[in-house]
Structure 1
Amino acid sequence: MMKEVRETTLPIVKMAKENEEFRHVIWTGDNTQLVLMAIPAGGEIGGEVHQGHDQLLYFVEGEGEATIGETKVSVQAGDVSIVPSGVFHNFRNTGSVMLKLYTTYCPPEHAPGTEHETKDQADADE
């Protein structure tokens, strides 16, 4: 398990590819938060709406399906999904390996240093 970092330059793609936790908050500022995520094969983030928080998700490994509002699209390494505040969204892993990504929340969504090894832990914490 990593702690929240205070560096200002990070090897984020490498960190995301090495991450095995469902959610790991690695940096939190006053207006933005950086989080690593790893979604197991067949898993999903879970449908949700963030009021007052924009979210960008940057995919670095695996394949999935993004549902943002009424739109469903495939996602893969190199893609970014943009979720405006107040819009329903969900991301599913449709591949056979972990779907790995990093995401930013503006403003922060989770407590600094939050770590959830699994989605079940994340759900229980929220």
Structure 2
Amino acid sequence: MTKVYPPDRSEAVAFDPTALIANAAALAETLRVPETFHSGKRLIVEHLWRTPHSSTAIAVIEPGGGLRPHFHQRHDEIIIFLDGEGHFRIGDEVRSVKARDVVVVPAGVVHTTLYAETRIVLAAVFSPGFDLDVEDRVYVD
């Protein structure tokens, strides 16, 4: 479940700013791709935080999995590969990616993690904040 920051000030409990810190490796260990794969692909996404200016998600893509090529009309996306290896499309180019690679995707640019060679764990930051109820994702190909 996505958490929203700043928290609702009417809550009785004081906000703990350390709640904004997440261990991606530990979180990825809890993420299991369901038997029914998302759009036929072997992945799961956990949306962590949404602020007025950004949103953050962690994704796990199992070997052989990937996403359909797409772009965002109103959002830039920064993708940090935390673990694994695969093939990433940005624009018309396909490149190998691995742990510690960072990909910056401006709004309007087609992109996707096409294929995971090994289990990929990545963090994605969208700006402005990504509203899951009004998904800004246009599929191509």
- Shorter-chain TM range is 0.7 to 0.9
Correspondence for 1:10: 22
Correspondence for 1:102: 123
Contact 2:62/2:116 (<8 A) preserved: no
State the 1:67 CA deviation: 0.7
Which has the greater radius of gyration?
A: 2
- Note the residue ranges of structure 1 that are not aligned, 5 or more in a row: 113-126
Residue 58, structure 1, aligned to residue 70, structure 2? no
| 1:55-86 deviation per Cα after TM superposition (whole angstroms, max 9, x unaligned) | 01111111111111122211000101111000
State the 1:4 CA deviation: 3.2
How far apart are the structure 1 equivalents of 2:52 and 2:69? 26
TM score, norm. by length of structure 2: 0.68
Aligned residues: 109
- With CA pairs under 8 Å and 6+ residues apart, which has the higher RCO, 1 or 2? 1
Written as runs of structure 1 = structure 2, the 5 A alignment for 1:1-126 is: 3-5=1-3, 7-16=19-28, 18-21=30-33, 22-95=44-117, 97-111=118-132
TM score, norm. by length of structure 1: 0.75
The letter of the residue matching 1:49 is F
State the 1:11 CA deviation: 2.4
Structure 1 range deviating more: 10-19 or 46-55 = 10-19
How far apart are the structure 2 equivalents of 1:39 and 1:68? 18
Contact 2:61/2:116 (<8 A) preserved: no
Contact 2:83/2:119 (<8 A) preserved: yes
| 1:36-71 deviation per Cα after TM superposition (whole angstroms, max 9, x unaligned) | 101121111211010010001111111111111122
The letter of the residue matching 1:48 is H
How far apart are the structure 1 equivalents of 2:123 and 2:112? 15
Aligned alpha-carbon RMSD (Å): 2.0
